[in-house]
Structure 1
Amino acid sequence: MWLLKRGSWLLFLKLTVGLGSLWMLYLASHLDTDKVSGFTRSHSWLEYTDEDGGPEKVCNCSGILQRDQESLEQAKLLTLTKTFRKRIQIPDEFYINETQDCRNFKLRRKYLTFPLSKEEEDFPLAYSMVVHHKVQNFERLLRAIYAPQNIYCVHVDKKSAPSVTSAILAITSCFPNVFMVSEAVSVVYAGWSRVQADLNCMADLYNASTKWKYFINLCGQDFPLKTNLEMVRMLQSLKGSNSLESESLPAEKRWRIHYVHNITDGKIKTTKELKKPPPFNLPIKSGSAYIVVSRGYVGSVLKDSKIKELTNWFKDTYSPDELIWATIQRFPGVPGSKWPNRKYDQTDVNAFARLVKWAGHEGSQDSESAVYPECQGNHVRSICVYGAGDLQWLLQNHHFFANKFDTDRDPIAVFCLEKHLRHKALAEAE
């Protein structure tokens, strides 16, 4: 009986939906007929429920997203208890064991293994994900952004613990469009290696597929604020332009490019040797390590001889990841770029790429100097690690991603975001 039903489904699909509906073929061949027919009526079986969460599932996400004080206080008190903090720790070996059966892993974790719309299927994205620890963070980020039409390159720091590398390799091996970078590097904070990690993934992604439209780079503690469809539509509105921070270099940061910097004992050191001026008399711009750029921009980075010369010049600067992409964005002839005149400067607040709360820019709403409200989580290196109380504000912004989240410290913020975005994505599909 099952074979007859399954054969009827496949015949129906071939006759009525054609090649574009790959997602239905997946359903017909991998799930029972009751669930397939249920999908045509509702996406409820793909919703994240409280049962999909860990100890954080006791929190009221609806109340948290509405900034209900009782819900927020409950969440904050929960994160302070020793029992909770112990229960949220997931060892790397868990992911190695769980991915022994990839099909069951993807089903249990409710990965979206089919495009939710033709619009998304026709507008694939490419991701670089640079990771060095916190496997749980990485897996939940991957699940939140995963779609089969997209392509993902994962760079694990060569210094990472063997268990981290093994766990992430096990996860990526379950997906045909997710792969480990062909050449990993040992990343040094504020050194050139951080750029090289993304460059290596850029090259792999560029060579792996000609179909993707935009490149987005992430780190393991990012999390999306938009559904894939929302990002696709916002990128379509750019009409080939890029969206990244690119501003005039502040005076207090000019030392970063005036002196030669070397790596000594795994740390970057400033020397007294002056650097030569940048090639082509190009003004160096200030920006972020995180970008949203077109395939054409990536092609220029990889192939243009002048940009390669500029790239070599950046190799002994301090924190070149916060300079190079912003400067290339103002390089004449680069697809999607802007003129170098400061009238075309774009701040991190206006760019799509990344929303970060810096401690020095936080403040009350009535403060003229404050850029954003005070962090409701904690700070690491002057960056807010978001708590549940930050979610409503985060979702009011237009950015694609926010940084930082830490499931080892406060998984509630991530859990509520996961549920919100999945519900929104499925509602869009219906």
Structure 2
Amino acid sequence: MYTNAFLPGWKFSKRIKCVLLSLLVFFIALVFVYFTCYKTSELDPTSQSTARILGEPARVPREYWEDLPVCSAIIRGELMGKKDEIARLLRPRERLSEEFYRGATTDCDAYKDKRGFIAAPLSAEERDFPIAYSMVIHGDVKLFERLLRTIYQPQNVYCVHLDQKSPEAFQEAVRAIVSCFTNVFVASKLESVSWGTWSIAQAHLNCMDDLLKSPVEWKYLLNTCGSDLPIKTNAEMVRALKLLNGQNSIYSDAFPDHNLHRWQYHHEVITNNNVYSTIARTDIRKTPPPIPMFYGSTYIVVTREFVKHVLEDEEVQNFIEWSKDTIMPEEHLWASLNRVSSMPGSVPAHSKYHRTDMTSIGRLVLWSGEAGDVTKGAAYPPCTSVIRREVCVLGVGDLPWVFRQHHLMANKFDPQVDDIAIRCIEAILISKR
């Protein structure tokens, strides 16, 4: 008989002691396997087992999680002004071509998995609140894919309007991507989109018509362009839209005096080479508008009922026809319609109900003309990147401010100007799913 050193006073036979030691070794080995395999996979956000543990029905490409620590520090403002250090910490990425997408989408299941598209609703709340998107794009296929991936959910529906004059290789690549999804489609009618003309509004109207014909019973519509990115997850968007309680959220303010000429005079569209168009004011005054005029934005957040009314109501159609010879009509069209009492989700025309771009939730834009020291009354902080047409092309230095805002989307982004800012948008949103 032997005395057990671990349990004084207890006596075991040699055989029992061997069994106990074997069990102890087995238990230690089991713990080792658990922490090196199971727990490792649990902590590895790119693994398929993580998808099962977290209920995440898609593989998240490792590149996003590699960016996350640096991007989180950027959002917290810890790397402000340290572009060289940020570039050193983040590995450069290959810029993908149109040919890549045409080849990758020949196997749609593999493409969607490798590129990190969500494969199933992430929650019952999101599943039961589908959103529609009207996407008017014209150039960068990679940026289009990044926009689509960050807003994509299988319960939502997406209409993609391709500018007729965009390069053929771009159109083919976009159509290849779209072909891999049952809830993403190219608009049935395409326009040649030109700045300042009715074509921008018409492109979204074409998508609205197609989206209403979709079998998806979506609740709200958001419209986007190719330089947009979301700054909220789909779940955060759903909760924000529910809080609207059937109202629209549209930038709709008093019309500035210096912009009254936009609709007071008839404008002519001048087409060059049957493709590119410009718009010019004439001396012909227009008839008074059929409804009160308000100033706003292209970007809107509207209910399904609002969209249906726009396409079917005779009064709205009259206003649309009246607006077609104005300049930048999309900046008064939605803003004015949302102040008509018969429009679903509208608000009264009284000045108490004015909304600016900062009090509506559709789109965050940093306008350089109103930027400066916010402690001294400026509307926006200074742009840390480059400025185009008075709009800041958002960079990493702007992201701390961007992520403090309540908007659903932000504009404008350009990978040629600051690709890291886009990478960080992706990494932050994916980490919050």
Q: The TM-score by the shorter chain falls in which range?
A: 0.7 to 0.9
Q: Which residue of 2 aligns with 1:62?
A: 72
- Note closer, same or farther for the CA distance 1:129–1:75 as it changes in structure 2 (3 Å cut): farther
**CA contact 2:250–2:301 (8 Å) conserved in 1:** yes
Q: Mark the runs of 5 or more structure 2 residues left unpaired by the alignment.
A: 1-46, 272-276
CA deviation vs aligned residue, 1:258-310 (integer Å, no higher than 9, x gap): 1101111311111111101112xx21110000000000100110000010001
Q: Which residue of 1 aligns with 2:168?
A: 162
**CA contact 1:247–1:285 (8 Å) conserved in 2:** yes
Q: Which residue of 2 aligns with 1:339?
A: 348
Supply the distance in 2 between the matched residues of 1:276 and 1:223 (Cα, whole angstroms): 39
Q: Mark the runs of 5 or more structure 1 residues left unpaired by the alignment.
A: 1-34, 426-430
**CA contact 1:60–1:71 (8 Å) conserved in 2:** no
- Note closer, same or farther for the CA distance 1:88–1:301 as it changes in structure 2 (3 Å cut): same
Q: Which residue of 2 aligns with 1:363?
A: 372
Q: How is 1:189-338 mapped onto 2 (pairs within 5 angstroms)?
A: 189-209=195-215, 211-265=217-271, 266-279=277-290, 282-338=291-347
Deviates more, 1:309-318 or 1:40-49: 40-49
TM-score scaled by length of structure 2? 0.84
Supply the distance in 2 between the matched residues of 1:391 and 1:46 (Cα, whole angstroms): 27
Q: How is 1:180-195 mapped onto 2 (pairs within 5 angstroms)?
A: 180-195=186-201
Supply the distance in 1 between the matched residues of 2:315 and 2:156 (Cα, whole angstroms): 30
Identical counterparts, % of pairs: 42
CA deviation vs aligned residue, 1:12-31 (integer Å, no higher than 9, x gap): xxxxxxxxxxxxxxxxxxxx
TM-aligned CA deviation for residue 112 of structure 1 = 0.4
TM-score scaled by length of structure 1? 0.84
Supply the distance in 2 between the matched residues of 1:309 and 1:58 (Cα, whole angstroms): 50
**CA contact 1:225–1:399 (8 Å) conserved in 2:** yes
1:407 maps to 2:419: no
TM-aligned CA deviation for residue 251 of structure 1 = 0.4
Q: Which of 155, 158, 183 in structure 2 is aligned with 1:177? A: 183
Q: How is 1:63-102 mapped onto 2 (pairs within 5 angstroms)?
A: 63-69=73-79, 72-74=82-84, 89-102=95-108
Supply the distance in 2 between the matched residues of 1:112 and 1:58 (Cα, whole angstroms): 19
Supply the distance in 1 between the matched residues of 2:102 and 2:336 (Cα, whole angstroms): 41
Q: Which structure is larger by alpha-carbon Rg, 1 or 2?
A: 2
Q: Which of 41, 44, 53 in structure 2 is aligned with 1:41? A: 53
Q: Which of 97, 117, 126 in structure 2 is aligned with 1:120? A: 126
Q: Is the partner of 1:196 in helix, strand or coil?
A: helix
TM-aligned CA deviation for residue 70 of structure 1 = 6.7
TM-aligned CA deviation for residue 409 of structure 1 = 2.6
**CA contact 2:68–2:424 (8 Å) conserved in 1:** no
TM-aligned CA deviation for residue 416 of structure 1 = 1.0
TM-aligned CA deviation for residue 331 of structure 1 = 1.2
Give the aligned residue type for 1:246. Answer: S
Supply the distance in 2 between the matched residues of 1:390 and 1:383 (Cα, whole angstroms): 13
**CA contact 1:64–1:388 (8 Å) conserved in 2:** yes
| Aligned residue-pair number | 382
Q: Which residue of 2 aligns with 1:381?
A: 389
Q: Is the partner of 2:299 in helix, strand or coil?
A: coil
